[in-house]
Amino acid sequence: MPLREALRGLRHVLRRGGATLRETLTIDMLPQPAAHLAGSMLRDVETLAKGADRIASELAKAVLGGVHPASSSLAEIAARGDHGELFSAAAYPALRDVLLRLGAKDAFVSEAAARSAFAAAHAQMLARDTAHAAIEETPGTDDKAAAEARMAAALTLAMIEARAIRGLPGGRETRVAASALEPVALFSVMLWLQSGAGEEENEAALSAATDLAVALAGDVETAARAGDAARIAALYLEFASHV
């Protein structure tokens, strides 16, 4: 886990560093010969950054392998206990996929923070008597869905608290406003985890969950920023079956 996090962090810093430099240096507004010198310097720095990014990416892929959204449901993940390994393994590639769909391709997802968030949410749900045992043992589909929705809501708020998503863009070229990116991305993944989609349906289900979360962006952001777990759970319970 520490090695994965470090390699991903290095890759993120290199990519964001190049983007920040391009945004900061307004070369077209500089007089000559300063503009020419600044342009030359920027090209040299970008070449260096791209080379370092390529090395970091290749190293990350060699060590980590490819990452694809897993097909575990939230009920299955909760049944495994409070360590969070299965959750972080599912959440990391799914969040990366959703963030790309939302136009936030350079955002950083912390797998370590996701594990920490799962442990916190799991402990909270155990204290309320609605943890994995409730999801698995509650009679009736409706009751199980409600327990799963409550777990998803607790996880959503715990992921925000743990800052599992970092380095989000300003929202100029994203599908939702900058302030909504984090809750909408998390809502998308939690909807998908409750959908029961099989491995062959992962991509379609994640795409549908993202589109639905974008349509609900206003409600999702409002509930998340207010820390309203009951409202978030109600949204999950109402819309998870639509994915």
Helix (H) or strand (E) holding 182: helix 178-193
Q: What pLDDT, on the 0 to 100 scale, is given for residue 43?
A: 64
Q: What are the structure tokens assigned to 66, written together?
A: 């490819």
Q: Which long-range contacts (CB under 8 A, 24 or more apart) does 68-71 make?
A: 68/93, 68/202, 69/93, 69/94, 69/97, 69/192, 69/202, 69/203, 69/206, 70/94, 71/197, 71/198, 71/199, 71/202
Q: How many CB atoms lie within 10 A of CB 44?
A: 10
Return d(Cα 76, Cα 157) in angstroms, integer: 20
* pTM over cut 0.75: no
Helix orientation angle between 141-161 and 178-193, rounded to the nearest 10 degrees: 140
**Residue 110 near residue 163, CB atoms below 8 Å:** yes
pLDDT per residue of the chain (243 residues) written in tens, 0 to 9: 554 555 555 455 555 555 554 554 455 555 677 666 656 765 665 565 555 555 544 554 554 444 455 557 888 888 876 578 889 888 999 999 999 999 998 898 998 899 999 999 988 887 775 444 445 444 555 688 999 999 999 999 999 999 999 989 877 789 999 999 999 999 999 999 998 887 778 889 999 999 999 999 999 999 999 999 999 999 999 999 999
- Amino acid identity of 156? T
| Residue found by looking up tokens 């892929």 in the block | 61
In whole angstroms, give the CA distance from residue 109 to residue 67: 13
Half-sphere exposure (CA, 13 Å, Cβ side) for 221?
12
Beta-carbon contacts of 203 under 8 Å, excluding residues fewer than 6 positions away, are 69
pLDDT value, residue 187: 98
Reduced to 3 states (helix: H, G, I; strand: E, B; else coil), residue 165 is: strand
Burial of 224 (0-12, 13-18, 19+ CB in 10 A): buried
